[in-house]
Amino acid sequence: MKFIKLLFWVMIMFITTASFSQHKYAMAIHGGAGNITPQNVSPEMQEKYKAKLKEALLAGEEVLKNNGDALDAVTAAIMVMENSPLFNAGKGAVFTAEGTNEMDASIMDGKNLKAGAVAGVQTIKNPILGARAVMEQSPHVLLSGNGADAFAKEKELDIVDPSYFFTQSRWDSYQRVKKKMEQGDKHGTVGCVALDEHGNLAAGTSTGGMTMKMHGRIGDSPIIGAGTYADNNTCAVSCTGHGEYFIRYAVAYDISALMKYKNLSLQEATHQVIMKKLKDAGGDGGVIAVDHKGNISMVFNTTGMFRGTISNGRKPEVYIY
């Protein structure tokens, strides 16, 4: 009898250990989608982008591999890209038609569907932290403009003079576009999705918007369900592209809904939305997504999308085209 009891407990321990060993983390990031080709991105710049993408992946993985939370991983990865002038977010934000920087960001927790976002901010060094503060320290989901900047200052986030966001390359691009009176360089949004070892999903997105956008224009990035969405029952999604289309088609939520209500796989849902619905409507861009099983999808209908993945201690993988 004692032997049977001992065998029973050994089997329970084995099953528990086996189940725990199956827990895994996974993460994907993007640095924008658009007309990105080997002809307009020099080999030197390609290496710079890849190096920064790897840095962002490793920053997020540092959280995940130490049993950390998906929200913290998403925040860490996005901050790396916000602090880099390479991407259209934070330090590298593009200029509006009035020659100013207006940034948007959002974040969402898949375990409880809580979310926070800021739009049109001009002094928050890391807009993703502003979005997270709205989620965790306010009764609201979205704050905009001066109200969002003031809230961030009240919560003692890093506040900088608007001149901090000036970069010569973005200013030169702004002058070129202004001279031609056409919109361009409109992609470069950054985002991250993550699954932690507890089975929780999170997603975040940060952007400077479109070059030469109208004052006050807000795209999909701070809109929950359009540019960002996370639900532990389905997936976490971050979008990049022509924001007006992503808003109209509720792209991020649509992917989750297709999985929830039509039982599509992550790959099927992302492909249907980006390569069919969005493309047929004339919208360009892409998404990164991870589901509750750790499957990752990175789909785009443009010539390129800065992107990368990392999971379970594997080396980071980054791509451009």
Q: Which of 94, 91, 69, 95 has the alpha carbon at shortest distance from 80?
A: 91
Tokens of 6: 């001992």
Q: Which two tokens stand for residue 84?
A: 């880099």
- Sheet containing 235-241: order of strands: 228-230, 235-241, 285-291, 296-300
List the one residue out of 101, 93, 103 whose CA is nearest residue 127: 103
Query: Rounded CA gap, 95 and 286, in Å?
Result: 22
Q: Distance between CA atoms of 321 and 319, rounded to whole angstroms?
A: 6
Rounded to whole angstroms, how far apart are CA atoms 273 and 54? 28
The rounded distance, in Å, linking the Cα atoms of 78 and 320 is: 17
Annotation marks residue 189 as catalytic? yes
Alpha carbons 305 and 241: distance in angstroms, whole number: 10
What does residue 147 show for φ and ψ, rounded to 5 degrees?
-65, -40
Determine contact, residues 118/131, Cβ cutoff 8 Å: yes
Q: What is the Cα–Cα distance from 128 to 191, expressed in whole angstroms?
A: 10
The active-site residue, picked from 75, 96, 189, 207, is 189
List the catalytic residues: 189
